[in-house]
Chains A and B, each alone.
Chain A
Amino acid sequence: MEKYEERIIRAMYEEGNKITPSEALKDRIDREINNIEWKRMEEKRSMRKFHIKKFVVAAVAACFVIPTAVFAGGTVTGYITGIGGYHEFKSYDEMDQAKEKTGFDFSSVEEFSNGYSFNNMQVGTVDKMDENGNRFGTFNEWTGSYTDESGNEVSLYINETLPQDETDAAEEPHDRRDMNGVTLNYAENSYMFVPADYELTEEDKEFDAQPHCYISYGSDEVEHSIFRHVTWDKDGVHYDLFAKDSPLEMEDLYEMAGEIIGE
C-alpha cells in the first residue's frame, strides 16, 4: 500500500470516528418498524370485522407506539388492535407450534382446490376496547394468508368464538347458507378510506348511510375497496375468510369455506 493510501485510511478514521449515531436514532428506527408492521396488520384487520360491532381502532398494545393512521369504521366502539405477542410462521409445517401459541385447536387447509395455497401465518393478540378506548380484555387470533399464481390474496382469521354481546352483528349478512350443519354468513362491504382532515361531500354522506358501506378516516388519499367475507362458527371457534378487492366471488369463498369445514 502506498503512503498516500495509508494517509487516506488515517484521515477516514479520524473523520469517521468523530461520528456516532444520536441517541434518538434507535427510537426512530423502532418507531418506523412498528408503524409499518402495524399498518400491514391493520390493513388486513381494520376493515374486516363486519360481524363485530362497528369498530374504532383506538390503541395498540403497550409495547407499540400509537400509529399515525387511525381508521374508524363508524361512530361506535368495539374492539380491536394490538400486535403484542405477534409471531410469524413461514411454513405450514409449523402449524402445530402456531396452534400451541394460539391456545386452541382449529381446522385449516394448506391448499385450496382453486389454486390458492398457504403463504404464511401469524399468531397475535387482539385487544378488546371499550367505548372510551380502554382495553378491557384480549383474545388470541390466528391469521393465515393464501395466494394464487397471480399473487391474489385471501386471508383466514380464526379466534375462539366471543361472547354474543361482543359480536353482535351491526348489519345482516348479504347471504346465509348451511353447510354440513354449519351456518355460513356472506357479506360484501364497501369501504371508502379518506385522509383524517377530509370533508365529506353530500355524495359521501349518502354512501355512508347505505348498508354495508363505510367511511374510514386515516388514509393518505381517498381510496375505495370492496371486502368480501364468509364467516362461520364451529366447535367454539370463529372463522373469517376474507378477500379484499379480489377476483373471488361469493360462490368461490363459500367453496373455500366448505373445504376448511370438511378438513
Chain B
Amino acid sequence: MDDNVLVEKMKAGDKESFDILYERYQNRLIRTAYLITGNYSDSEDIVQETFVKCYLHCNELKNNSGFKPWLYQILTRTAWQYGKKRSRELPDEEIEKKAERSDEINSLDLILKSEQSAKICEAVRKLDIKYRVVVVYYYYSQMSTKEIAKACELREGTVKSRLFAARKQLKKEMHEIMEKEELRDGKIRGKNHPGYV
C-alpha cells in the first residue's frame, strides 16, 4: 500500500497503518541514526522518539506525500538533541554487540574491509553534527540536497556548502584510509594468486 494512503489512515487513528509504516521505515531510520550517533542504544532511543512523535503529531502533516522528509525532519531534530547531550562512549552492551558482529565475519579480507569501513564511518562521525547529518543523508539515505534541506530545515544552499566543507575534510582522511586499503588489497590478492610463491 502506498505511503500516502497509510498516512491518511494513520491520521484517522488507524494503528495498523502506523505499524506498516514502522515496518517500512524502521531499518532505514535506525541505520541512519546509528551512522549519525555511532551508538546503538542512542539510535534505538532516537527511533523510538521519532515514531512516537510521528504517531502523535501525524495530523500536523498537511501534505501526505511529504511524509518521508517530515519523518526525517523529526529524526534530525531528535538526533541533534541526542548528539548534543550524549557522549560518544559506547556502553558495555554496545561493545559486546560489536564483538558479536565481528565474530560473524570470518574471512581475513572481510575483516580488513570491515575494519576500513568502520574507520571511514568513524571519520564521518568525527565531523561536527551539522556536517555529519548532511553527509549521512546524502551518501547513505541517498537524499537530494533539496530533500536534505527539508529534513534539516535549512536552505538548499546551506546544505550544499555543508556538503562541500564535509567532503573537503573527509577527502583528507579518506586518502590515507584508501591508500592502506589498496596496499592491503594488493597483498591479499597477491598472496591468494595461484602463481604466488
Contacts and interface: CB of A to CB of B under 8 A. Distances in A.
Interface of A: 2-5, 7-22, 25-26, 28-29, 32-33, 36-37, 86-88, 90
A116 B36 CA distance: 46
10 contacts: A7-B174, A8-B174, A11-B121, A12-B136, A18-B101, A19-B40, A19-B43, A21-B44, A25-B30, A29-B52
A16 B35 contact: yes
A29 B22 contact: yes
A134 B170 CA distance: 63
A15 B35 contact: yes
Contacts of A90: 59
Given A4-B175, A15-B118, 9 more contacts: A4-B174, A8-B170, A9-B139, A12-B140, A19-B30, A21-B26, A21-B27, A36-B52, A37-B56
A4 to B, nearest CB: 4
B170 A12 contact: no
Contacts of B178: 3-4, 7
A122 B188 CA distance: 67
Nearest to B116: A11
Contact of A25 (B44, B177, B181): B44
Contacts of B64: none
Q: Which 8 A-B pairs have the closest CB atoms?
A: A11-B120, A16-B31, A11-B117, A4-B174, A14-B117, A12-B140, A15-B121, A19-B34
A25 B48 contact: yes
B13 interface: yes
B51 interface: yes
A86 B15 CA distance: 11
A12 B141 CA distance: 10
Taking chain B's interface residues, is the majority helix, strand, or loop, or is none over half, making it mixed?
Answer: helix
Taking chain A's interface residues, is the majority helix, strand, or loop, or is none over half, making it mixed?
Answer: helix
B19 to A, nearest CB: 8
Contacts of B27: 19-21
A10 B117 contact: yes
B79 interface: no
Contacts of B30: 19-21, 25
B47 A21 contact: yes
Given A11-B116, A11-B120, A11-B121, A25 B47 contact: yes
A12 B139 contact: yes
Nearest to B140: A12
A26 to B, nearest CB: 6
A153 B34 CA distance: 41
B113 interface: yes
Query: Which of B43, B101, B121, B177: most chain A CB closer than 10 A?
Result: B121
A38 B167 CA distance: 47
B56 A8 contact: no
B170 A33 contact: no
Contact of A33 (B40, B52, B121): B52
B52 A22 contact: no
B120 A88 contact: no
B117 A15 contact: yes
B51 A9 contact: no
Contacts of B181: 7
B2 to A, nearest CB: 22
Nearest to B32: A16
Interface string B149-190: 000000000000000000100110011011001000000000
A4 B170 contact: yes
Nearest to A10: B117
B175 A12 contact: no
A3 B59 CA distance: 43
A8 B43 CA distance: 20
Nearest to A26: B22
Nearest to B98: A18
B140 A87 contact: no
Contact of B51 (A15, A20, A29): A29
B88 to A, nearest CB: 15
Nearest to B29: A21
Contacts of A25: 26, 30, 44, 47-48
Contacts of B19: 26
A8 B139 contact: yes
